Chains A and B, each alone.
Chain A
Amino acid sequence: MTAELAVAEERELPRDRSLRSWLGTTDHKRIALLITAVALLLLFVAGALALTMRLQLAQPDQEFVTNDGYNQLFTIHGSAMIYLVVTPLALAYGLYLVPLQVGAPNVAAPRTTMLGFWLYLFGSVAIFSGFLTSGGAAKEGWTAYTPLSTSEYSPGMGTDLWVLGTFVTTVGMILVGGTVLWTALLKRARGMTMLRMPVFSWSVVATNLMVIAAFPSLLFALGLIAVGRMTPGLFDSNLYNIGYQHLFWFFAHPVVYVMFFPFVGAVAEVLATFAQRRFFGYTITVLSLLAFAGLSMSVWGHHMFTTGLVSDDYYSLTSILLIVPAGIEYFAFLGTIIGARLRFQLPMLFALAFILQFLVGGITGIMVASPVLDYQMHDSYFVVGHFHYTLVAGSLFGLFAGLYFWFPKATGVMLGRGLGHAHFWLMMVGTNVTFLPMFWLGIAGMPRRVASYLPTDGFSTFNLIASIGAGILGLGMLAFAVNVVRSLTKRKERAAPDNPWRAHTLEWATSSPPPPLNFDDKHPIPPIRSYAPLLDLRREREP
């Protein structure tokens, strides 16, 4: 087949490592790595903001930061983590892996994808540049509820830059998600039917369906804020305020799923690989992923129970129905590992921690999906604990399971085991010590987004524990950063083979790192007869 292809002679081939080649790349892997690098950098910046908040809250009545400064901290921390870190990382995983997993030479419309990266980068700069303005960065929370975010209550350029940056970043993410979806649906290799795509690719398909259906709603919501900031009095009508919340949460609930679906897929691949068997319940898992994604579109009103202006019955029904597809996925996870000869390598440790901890986030989510409980818990630290168990104890652990798993493929280098274990255990302890006390703080009545509390409030002990946990978590992240830098500087000692984990999917059939158009004569695509083609091949060779 290769012989039939005319190769443009004047074009520079592979391995051009110049800055210009990176900034003008059309290689989906490089675009994904650019997004990943920016997002990981911002993860550390947003993490530093969180540590500053935890320092402020470690003791009652502290004045480490001002109230205004604290508002900026939690706004930019939340915005950065959601719009600039976890969502882009989730989509970047799909961008890197889907073309490889479906046997495509590249993503569809790579220049559009690259435009998505640039918009994301410039949007991030716009959001953070708010700190350089005289009034400081945006300070109305990542939700930017109206009328709080209008020019009357939030004057200054910080909020304007936040609106601009979030808008531009969201457009960028729609472009990235759209091209990856197009690739999975229409650019698959011969033999790679839809029901032979790996679970990870299916999770990305479900993710990007949510991106194209839900993300435009945020653009409308941000447009509404922009108009409101230029038209004083617009939000005097409650229709606009409630309308804004509907538009916002129609985006903001599915985005939570966008932030963990690819990591559910990643965990599925890790479990199957380290259980040394085929993923259990493939078809039903694929269907449950699609059903799950659909349900996630219909539950947005549960964030608005306390407005008293949504149908409590409908939204609690659909929210509680989420248990069904989630349960199926958990059943498939357990079916894959029970009775298998497990190998407890680093990706597997992160995957197992994901399964356990995400369960806490999920179950507390079902609790706050009940209107009766939500009226009590709304805007309390219970909710903060819940979504951090979903996004840190869940998504971030899934993200690291995938990162340790695919790092050798993307860089050709194995990450160090010692520092990897330090990272895992510090993060595991740090996460639980930080976020578990928040449930009790919430039940005790501590509201979220407060810069201080009194010694007599009874919140001191749990806040101190949470702050110590945040420090441990920070140390874990530091171990990860050192591990990445050390591994990349010791390339020769830590060179990775093509398939170091004996994994099952197509990306492991090519070199580490893969060639520019993914497969070449030395690394052709093997025959595809199932969603685990390399496992099929191995079983043929080693019956």
Chain B
Amino acid sequence: MKPALVVLGWAGWNAVLMLVMIPYRENALFIGMYALAVSATAAAAGVVWLYRRSRRAEGPVRMAANSLSAGFLAVAVILAGSSVLFGQWLTGIAFYFAVAALLHVRRERVPAGALPGPTAVPTEPGVRDQRGVLPKAAKAAATAGLLTRALRTLTGRRKGAGR
């Protein structure tokens, strides 16, 4: 089972549920709202797929040893939000925290390939579903067989029909 397929499958299942709304005559505006969420999930599936395809997924894990920049950024966000209630002067202070976050963020990362501590976890994931060729071939053959049978049932005439 591929991770992108899990996300895409889930988006697909939601798309089916969304489409069922149409015969029930739900307001188009709210079907559209559901469609937006389905599209966002499908886009997430695309990002997962692209990431897996890219070389980044194969490369070593790159980690930060510190996260103070996140704290600074969060203070900037809450101050900027509060400025709507308590006055625009707060955005000035928020700006300094945003700058502090920016200055701090680069210093937090350890060099690529280095880790902030020892670990026995292989850090070059490269996870692949470990399945042989045979089950895949069997699954493909079974699907093809089912599809052919379904197609025949739909297009062909029933036994005895039309006599």
Return the CB mask of B13-47 against A: 1 if under 8 Å, else 0.
Answer: 11001101100111101100110011011001000
Please state if A186 and B125 are interface contacts (CB–CB under 8 Å).
yes
Q: How far is the CA of A310 from the CA of B30 in the complex (A)?
A: 10
With A105-B115, A105-B121, A115-B73 known to touch, is A212 a contact of B67 (CB < 8 Å)?
no
Please state if A111 and B67 are interface contacts (CB–CB under 8 Å).
yes
In the complex, what residue of chain A is closest to B72 when comparing beta carbons?
A118
Q: Which of A14, A191, A313, A517 has the most CB of B within 10 A?
A: A517
With A6-B114, A8-B65, A105-B115 known to touch, is A161 a contact of B85 (CB < 8 Å)?
yes
Which chain A residues numbered 186 to 201 have a C-beta less than 8 Å away from chain B?
A: 186-195
Please state if B123 and A297 are interface contacts (CB–CB under 8 Å).
no
Q: How far is the CA of A2 from the CA of B14 in the complex (A)?
A: 43
Please state if A24 and B115 are interface contacts (CB–CB under 8 Å).
no
Does A246 count as interface, using CB distance less than 8 angstroms?
A: yes
Please state if B20 and A186 are interface contacts (CB–CB under 8 Å).
no
Interfacial chain A residues near B44, Cβ < 8 Å: 212
* Cβ-defined partner of B21 (8 Å) among A121, A171, A188, A311: A311
Please state if A5 and B116 are interface contacts (CB–CB under 8 Å).
no
Return the CB mask of A169-191 against B: 1 if under 8 Å, else 0.
Answer: 00100000000000001111111
Pick the interface stretch among A66-74, A464-472, A485-493, A518-526. A518-526
With A25-B67, A119-B74 known to touch, is A212 a contact of B41 (CB < 8 Å)?
yes
Q: How far is the CA of A311 from the CA of B7 in the complex (A)?
A: 28
Interfacial chain A residues near B68, Cβ < 8 Å: 23-24
Return the CB mask of B60-73 against A: 1 if under 8 Å, else 0.
Answer: 01011111111101
Q: How far is the CA of A112 from the CA of B116 in the complex (A)?
A: 17
Does B162 count as interface, using CB distance less than 8 angstroms?
A: no
Which chain A residues numbered 112 to 163 have a C-beta less than 8 Å away from chain B?
A: 112, 114-115, 117-119, 121-123, 126, 157, 160-161
Q: How far is the CA of A313 from the CA of B110 in the complex (A)?
A: 57
Q: Which of A114, A217, A226 has the most CB of B within 10 A?
A: A114
* Cβ-defined partner of A119 (8 Å) among B18, B30, B77, B119: B77
Pick the interface stretch among A82-90, A286-294, A334-342. A286-294
Chain A nearest CB: distance from B42 CB in Å?
10
Please state if B111 and A105 are interface contacts (CB–CB under 8 Å).
no
Q: How far is the CA of A243 from the CA of B75 in the complex (A)?
A: 32
Does A355 count as interface, using CB distance less than 8 angstroms?
A: no
Interfacial chain B residues near A318, Cβ < 8 Å: 17, 20
Please state if A519 and B78 are interface contacts (CB–CB under 8 Å).
no
Q: How far is the CA of A106 from the CA of B7 in the complex (A)?
A: 22
Please state if A111 and B119 are interface contacts (CB–CB under 8 Å).
no
With A8-B111, A516-B116, A518-B121 known to touch, is A114 a contact of B13 (CB < 8 Å)?
no
Please state if B119 and A298 are interface contacts (CB–CB under 8 Å).
no
Please state if B120 and A191 are interface contacts (CB–CB under 8 Å).
no
Which size class do A's interface residues fall under? 35 or more
Does A19 count as interface, using CB distance less than 8 angstroms?
A: no
Please state if A193 and B67 are interface contacts (CB–CB under 8 Å).
no
* Cβ-defined partner of B120 (8 Å) among A24, A214, A525: A525
With A515-B117, A517-B119 known to touch, is A217 a contact of B33 (CB < 8 Å)?
yes
* Cβ-defined partner of A105 (8 Å) among B2, B110, B113, B119: B119
With A294-B13, A298-B18 known to touch, is A517 a contact of B118 (CB < 8 Å)?
yes
Main secondary structure of the interface of B (DSSP, over half): helix
Tally chain B residues at the interface, Cβ within 8 Å.
70
Please state if A185 and B3 are interface contacts (CB–CB under 8 Å).
yes
Please state if B82 and A213 are interface contacts (CB–CB under 8 Å).
no
Interfacial chain A residues near B51, Cβ < 8 Å: 186
Please state if A314 and B26 are interface contacts (CB–CB under 8 Å).
yes
Which chain A residues numbered 10 to 67 have a C-beta less than 8 Å away from chain B?
A: 11, 13-14, 23-26
Q: Which of B4, B111, B121 has the most CB of A within 10 A?
A: B121
Please state if A250 and B116 are interface contacts (CB–CB under 8 Å).
no
Please state if A298 and B125 are interface contacts (CB–CB under 8 Å).
no
Chain A nearest CB: distance from B81 CB in Å?
5
Interfacial chain B residues near A160, Cβ < 8 Å: 84-85
Chain B nearest CB: distance from A213 CB in Å?
5
Does A76 count as interface, using CB distance less than 8 angstroms?
A: no
Q: How far is the CA of A139 from the CA of B44 in the complex (A)?
A: 37
Interfacial chain B residues near A294, Cβ < 8 Å: 10, 13-14, 17
Interfacial chain B residues near A314, Cβ < 8 Å: 20-21, 24, 26
Please state if A193 and B1 are interface contacts (CB–CB under 8 Å).
yes
Chain A nearest CB: distance from B35 CB in Å?
11
Interfacial chain A residues near B70, Cβ < 8 Å: 111-112, 114-115, 117-118
With A217-B37, A311-B26, A313-B24 known to touch, is A186 a contact of B9 (CB < 8 Å)?
no
* Cβ-defined partner of A297 (8 Å) among B30, B34, B121: B34
Interfacial chain B residues near A7, Cβ < 8 Å: 114-118
Q: How far is the CA of A61 from the CA of B110 in the complex (A)?
A: 64
* Cβ-defined partner of A26 (8 Å) among B17, B64, B77: B64
Please state if A118 and B74 are interface contacts (CB–CB under 8 Å).
yes
Please state if A290 and B34 are interface contacts (CB–CB under 8 Å).
no
Does A393 count as interface, using CB distance less than 8 angstroms?
A: no
Q: How far is the CA of A110 from the CA of B70 in the complex (A)?
A: 10
Interfacial chain B residues near A351, Cβ < 8 Å: none
Does A447 count as interface, using CB distance less than 8 angstroms?
A: no
Please state if B14 and A105 are interface contacts (CB–CB under 8 Å).
no
Q: How far is the CA of A217 from the CA of B35 in the complex (A)?
A: 12
* Cβ-defined partner of B127 (8 Å) among A6, A121, A188, A523: A188
Please state if B37 and A185 are interface contacts (CB–CB under 8 Å).
no
Which chain B residues numbered 48 to 106 have a C-beta less than 8 Å away from chain A?
A: 48, 51-52, 57, 61, 63-71, 73-75, 77-78, 81-82, 84-85, 105
13 A-B interface contacts by CB (under 8 A) = A23-B71, A26-B66, A106-B63, A111-B67, A111-B70, A111-B108, A118-B71, A214-B37, A216-B40, A226-B84, A246-B33, A247-B33, A517-B121
Extra A-B contacts (4), CB below 8 Å, given A122-B77, A195-B1: A7-B115, A7-B118, A114-B70, A298-B20
Give chain B's interface residues, CB within 8 Å of chain A: 1-4, 6-7, 9-10, 13-14, 17-18, 20-21, 24-27, 29-30, 33-34, 37-38, 40-41, 44, 48, 51-52, 57, 61, 63-71, 73-75, 77-78, 81-82, 84-85, 105, 108, 110-111, 113-123, 125-127, 129-130
